[in-house]
A and B are shown apart, each in its own frame.
Chain A
Amino acid sequence: MARTTPEIPNASMADIAFLLLTFFLVTTTMPNNRGLSIALPPPPEATPPEDVKIQERNMFKIQLNSSDALLVEGEPREDIRNLKDEIKAFVLNNGRDPASSDNPEKAIVSFKTDRGTSHKRFIELLDIIQAAYYDIYAEQAGVSNAKFREAASDLSSTENKEIYNRGRAGIPLNISIADPTKVGN
C-alpha cells in the first residue's frame, strides 16, 4: 500500500504571484471621480431674455482678468484668505447691512472670467465660493462641511437626503458663472 501521492510543486507559486502583483501594481490607475460639481444653465435659446433687474446690493462680483488678477466688488485684491468669510457674510446678511444682500434667496455670487484666465486660477476661486456655500449648508444642517458634501454626493439614502434638504433649505446655490470676456485667448 505504499503509494506516492502525486504533488504539484508549489515552491514557485510565490514567484508567480509576485510577478502578477508587480504587473497590476504598475498598470493600476486609481479612478478619480471627484471634483467641483456645477450645473450649467439651460441653453440660451430656451429661455427668452427676461429683463430681470437685479439690485446692485444683491450681487457679489468676483472678476478675473486675462493675467489672473482678481477684482472683488470692483476692488483689486491680492489676499484671498478672507474671501470665504466675506461671501458667507454677504449671503447671510438678511438685510442688516444696507450695502449687502436682502436675503439668501436673492443673493447672487457673480463670477466672471476672461478667455485668457487659466483653469488653475478659475478652480481656486470657484473652490472658495463653493466652500462658502457648503459651510453655510453644513452649519444649517448641523454637520461638518465634509459630511455635508458626502451626503450631497449620495442622495440615495433617506438620511443623506434629510441632511441635504435641511442644509439647503431657503438658501439656493446662486453662483453665476458668466460668459468670459474676450481679451486674451
Chain B
Amino acid sequence: MSKFKKKTNVKQDIPTSSMPDVVFMLLFFFMVTTELRKTSIEVKQQIPKATQLRKLMRKTLVTNLYIGEPNKPAQYGKEPKIQADDVFIDTKDIIRWVNEQKSKLDEVERDQLTVALKVDKDAKRGIISDVESELRKANARKLLYSTLEDKDKNQ
C-alpha cells in the first residue's frame, strides 16, 4: 500500500512570472503591424489568386480603388460599383479623383502614383476596362491588380 501513498516532491507548476512579458511582446507586435482602416469597404471583395506577385514598396504612392458587387444590394443594386475612399464613384469622376490623389503627393512624385485595383473575382472586364481608360486619360498609368499569393501553384 505504501507504494501508492508515496508523495513526490517534484513541483508541477508552470512558471507564470514571465507571462506578462510574453503577452506584452505579442501586444507590441500587433500594435506595430496593425493598420487602422479608415474606410469601410462596401463592395464584395474576394480577391483572385496569382503567382507572379510584385510588391509595392512606397505605401504613400499607392491609392486604392475597390470594385465589386455592393454589399447592400437592397440599397445600391446588384451591378458592380467602384468605391474610392468612402464613396461610390462613377467612371466619369475618376479623372477628378485621380487629380485629387495626385495633389496630396509631392510634385516630383506625382507621376509615380500607383493605383491598386482591388477587384472582386466575379466582377466583369467591362467595368474594369472603363476604369482603365479613364486612368489613362488622367495619366495615372501605373496599375496594380491586387491579388493574393497562390501557394499551391507556386511550386
Contact = CB atoms under 8 A, between A and B. Distances in A.
Interface of A: 10, 13-14, 17-18, 20-21, 24-25, 27-44, 113-120, 122-124, 126-127, 130-131, 134, 145, 149-150, 152-154, 156, 179-180, 182, 184-185
Interface of B: 19-20, 23-24, 26-27, 30-31, 33-37, 47-57, 59, 62, 114, 116, 119-126, 128-129, 132-133, 135-137, 139, 141-149
B53 to A, nearest CB: 4
Contacts of A134: 52
Contacts of B146: 32, 34-35
B147 A17 contact: no
A24 B126 contact: no
Nearest to B137: A43
Given A24-B30, A119-B121, A179-B129, A36 B50 contact: yes
Contacts of B54: 34-37, 149, 152-153
Contact of A118 (B116, B123, B129, B148): B123
For chain A, what secondary structure do more than half of its interface residues adopt (helix, strand, loop), or is it mixed? mixed
Given A24-B34, A38-B145, A33 B133 contact: no
For chain B, what secondary structure do more than half of its interface residues adopt (helix, strand, loop), or is it mixed? mixed
B23 A18 contact: yes
Contacts of A21: 23, 26-27, 30
28 contacts: A17-B24, A21-B27, A24-B34, A30-B35, A33-B56, A33-B116, A34-B53, A34-B54, A35-B147, A36-B53, A36-B145, A36-B147, A37-B56, A40-B135, A40-B141, A41-B141, A42-B136, A44-B136, A115-B129, A118-B124, A119-B120, A119-B123, A119-B125, A126-B50, A131-B51, A149-B52, A150-B55, A153-B57
A27 B36 contact: yes
Given A114-B125, A180-B126, A180-B129, 19 more contacts: A14-B19, A29-B34, A34-B55, A34-B56, A34-B148, A35-B146, A36-B50, A36-B52, A40-B135, A40-B142, A43-B137, A115-B129, A116-B126, A118-B122, A119-B122, A123-B147, A131-B52, A149-B53, A153-B55
